[in-house]
Amino acid sequence: MNRSLPSLNALRTFEAVARHGSFTSAADELNVTQSAVSRMIKGLEVHLELQLFERAGRQIKLTEEGVYYSQKISKAMDILELASRELVDTKAGRGTLSIGMLPTFGTKWLLPKLGSFMQLHSELTVDITSSDGDLDFSSERIDVAIRFGYGNWPGVRAEPLMSEELTVVCSPRIMDGPYPLTDYEQLRRHNLIAHSTRPGTWAHWLQAVGAGSEGYNRSLRLEHFYMVLQAAKSGLGIGLLPSYLAADDIANGSLTAPYPVRVVSPGGYYLVTHWDKTDLPRVKAFREWVLEQV
């Protein structure tokens, strides 16, 4: 296919001028003369048969077409830069593995296990960021993410890792108080601490155990399970937590689990990768390792 494209040097020059709003500043960045920048922009405008800048003396301003073109070219340059960096990073398997991790899951499940991966791949630097919002691999600059959901995120490869069991927990002080949780009905006398980004969790548990869904107080909502854990330990209400998260505190007595029943949460944890990155050596290495852990 014969592509009718301007030269890469012309596009790079245009991107620098548009970003700086100045021929002089762009020339300094590119280590060329101002007249060379001016000639390059003029040649680009001739090629496109469009005016990209309005000139008034020494002042320049992008035209409407120039604004549109600069946005597109800037994104294209980002893609080229990222592709080049990844090529260098993955040479001989080296580079940085960037993981977007659910905060609580990362702290309680991944980090205690991560040492074995780092021993296996000492050539890699591992960069973990807290990430639990919408998936955006380009803006977050992450290679892989671990998310809770149903595996139906668009445009990505989603591989199931594990399901999640839910356990009701509370401070031992509540069990020693006037309304201990001796049956499900006693839950109506306490505040049920809700997870704000997974608001249906309590309703799911109550329905699963046949306790109904009406007449419960959920006046405290917290963003992360780790916050729910701390609130439950402080006696602020009754928590509903993944079993893996509550296990240590139940074992040391700072929390108690009044009901032996455990309910499997709807959804599960997934390893999520953008299709463009699935074959990167560092991503393949992490995928193989994490699937072995579960």
Domain of 214, CATH number, reads 3.40.190.10
Same domain for 275 and 138? Answer: yes
The predicted pLDDT at position 94 comes to: 61
User: Are 104 and 226 within 8 A, CB to CB?
Assistant: yes
Same domain for 272 and 138? Answer: yes
Same domain for 169 and 241? Answer: yes
The predicted pLDDT at position 4 comes to: 77
Task: Report strand pairing: 239-242 vs 156-162.
Answer: unpaired
In a domain, 1, yes or no: no
User: Are 174 and 187 within 8 A, CB to CB?
Assistant: no
The predicted pLDDT at position 222 comes to: 94
SS3 state at 19: helix
In a domain, 99, yes or no: yes
Same domain for 127 and 113? Answer: yes
Q: Supply the range of the domain harboring residue 110.
A: 91-163+268-293
The predicted pLDDT at position 294 comes to: 84
Question: Residue 100 belongs to what H/E stretch?
Answer: strand 95-101
CA distance 137 to 141: 5
CA distance 287 to 294: 11
Q: Label residue 94 exposed, middle or buried (CB < 10 Å: 0-12, 13-18, 19+).
A: middle
Same domain for 135 and 191? Answer: no
The predicted pLDDT at position 234 comes to: 95
The predicted pLDDT at position 108 comes to: 87
In a domain, 184, yes or no: yes
Q: Could you tell me the CATH number of the domain that includes residue 43?
A: 1.10.10.10
Same domain for 105 and 139? Answer: yes
Return the HEC string of 225-281. Answer: HHHHHHHHHCCCCEEEEEHHHHHHHHHHCCCECCCCCCEECCCEEEEEEEHHHCCCH
Q: Which stretches of the chain score pLDDT less than 70?
A: 1-2, 86-94, 133, 138-140
In a domain, 186, yes or no: yes
Same domain for 127 and 201? Answer: no
Same domain for 48 and 186? Answer: no
Same domain for 105 and 223? Answer: no
**How many domains is the chain built from?**
3
Same domain for 211 and 277? Answer: no
Same domain for 260 and 172? Answer: yes
